[in-house]
A and B are shown apart, each in its own frame.
Chain A
Amino acid sequence: MFELSVFQESVAKRQREAVKEAVNKAIRNGTFTYTDVLMAAEPVQTYAFEHLDGYTSENGSSNQVSNALLGEPIRLVCLRDGDSIKINRWGTRRIWGTNEQGPNEKLTVSLGPDALVDDKHPERLARNVLRKSGWPIRNKRSRTANDGSVVEWAWLEREANVKDAPPEVTELYLAILARTAPATAHAPKQTKSAGAPASAHP
């Protein structure tokens, strides 16, 4: 998504503009993926997310200057059969034996192996899942020390169909396609737990 020239731009202001342009172009062309952004080196990644979220830090601190772009659900799929996409959400549990709620704490929600996950403020679930356990994002960011386990389907589909795709990319794509075959052509398969998009505002 980002040309080499974007990373080599020497003036921060011009680099921000180049990033915005690249992101807008990818959105217009339907080729935008969060994986591309999360794989990009800093500060390009930060500039791209600032643009997507309507922030700027040109004066040294972060300020909201416009509305966020995107946020719609994207399809995330576990690489391994049997895995599940897990997210953490703030919530409370009922104190056993009472009708009172306990303290605020993080609760885990399983979205199943294949889910549409939104990226709305403030949770930004989709990108946070990818940030922590996305493939090959985690592999790259940890300099191969750790492996991602969830892939953004749009990225995988695109990468598997380029001429010089690494063999493992194609293999994974075909394996997931076979696993989720009945409903993948145009409507991504929904698991039972992910019947509705995971929303920050359920």
Chain B
Amino acid sequence: MAGVTAAAASGTTGSIQDALKSQAAFDLQESLFKNNEVLGNFGAPVPFTGGATINIKHHYAGNASVGTYSEGDGLGSPGSQAYLTALWPATYYRAQIQITGHALDQTLNGSSGAVFYNQIEAEFTLAMEDLIDRVSTDALGTGLTAPVGIQGICDSAGTLATINRSTYSWFQAYEVAGGATTITVADLDGAAQNSGDADYGAQVTEIWTSWKQKNKLKGVLGNVGVANNSYLQSPAGPLNTSGITSDMFYGNVPIKPIRDLTNSIFLGLSMKEFFLGRMREWKVEELGKTDDSTKYLLTGAWGLGCKNPKKNWKITTLTA
């Protein structure tokens, strides 16, 4: 084909290739999933107040002299309360960045005249997102020591915040295996009953599970169009098939699907008991020059804690 063509025909004059600018839309499209949905659930971070831990004082025994008496009874022995301190740790997180002088020059220091997105700036903002993803997934994990995870907190065994829960049983969350490998409402009822009553006294405000388990629970309740499903479509308003993206509640407690949470569990959480300790706010520091490069260090120190692990429950081993 002769003339001016779009194809890069070798040896043919008139191709538009030499004249075309390299094309791409400005800005960067994020295609890597990073979890930033967890930490906000624990409220404003609580600053550490000196020392390596946030210390929570627990009152675990009352005055044994409390009782009734009749006229003329002699005095009994006085009693007293009993206390113990839980020590919640933080974990230090870091990321390193190094930028060469050549990279700065050739990107015109991130100028939009030279680049489709500011790669220099992106290295910092994206590394921060990577760090938050790491803190978030650690917070969802099973850790008993730093980094402490919510599955480790909502457990009945192991030493947490220096308190051995087998010795100090008032630090145990209520933990139970599901009746079968698929969640049932009876499993939720059982956990709510046992943890809600004495001596756990849980006041669960949120239930966390994975997206798959939310799907399983919806399947247990019944799907629209399936015979004998156990919930009703509201007759008013437009028809709605309902899906797992719809809000779901156990009683008045929202069931929240949490990305990156282990698939086999349901957690009943008394959210006001949890806190995110902040030992060090995120900060970026320029380190010394290395040849023609500049190194940067991003750091922060955070720790998940729970003022009263006993007020939470966990249903485990839901493998289906």
Contacts and interface: CB of A to CB of B under 8 A. Distances in A.
B49 to A, nearest CB: 16
The number of chain B residues touching the other chain, given as a range, is 35 or more
B166 A49 contact: yes
B110 to A, nearest CB: 38
A86 B175 CA distance: 12
A103 B138 CA distance: 12
Interface in B120-168: 141-142, 151, 155-159, 162-164, 166-168
B96 interface: no
Interface stretch (A141-149, A153-161, A169-177, A190-198): A141-149
Interface in B180-234: 193-194, 197-199
Contact of B172 (A88, A104, A108, A131): A131
A88 B167 contact: no
B164 to A, nearest CB: 7
A105 B262 contact: yes
A36 to B, nearest CB: 14
Interface stretch (A5-13, A73-81, A178-186): A5-13
Contact of A62 (B76, B167, B264): B167
Nearest to A37: B169
A46 B168 contact: yes
B265 A41 contact: no
A10 B77 contact: yes
A93 B317 CA distance: 11
Contacts of A146: 193-194, 197
A123 to B, nearest CB: 6
Interface string A113-129: 00000000111100110
Contact of B62 (A42, A60, A108, A132): A42
A42 B166 contact: no
B197 A122 contact: no
B174 interface: yes
B199 A141 contact: yes
B87 interface: yes
A135 interface: no
A145 B201 CA distance: 12
A61 B54 CA distance: 13
A105 B316 contact: yes
Query: Nearest 5 A-B pairs (CB), nearest first?
Result: A124-B166, A42-B61, A43-B61, A106-B316, A43-B82
Interface of B: 55, 60-62, 64-65, 76-80, 82-85, 87, 141-142, 151, 155-159, 162-164, 166-170, 172, 174-177, 193-194, 197-199, 262, 264-265, 314, 316-317, 319
18 contacts: A8-B65, A8-B77, A10-B80, A12-B82, A41-B61, A43-B82, A46-B60, A46-B170, A49-B167, A53-B166, A53-B167, A61-B87, A62-B167, A105-B317, A106-B316, A106-B317, A128-B156, A141-B199
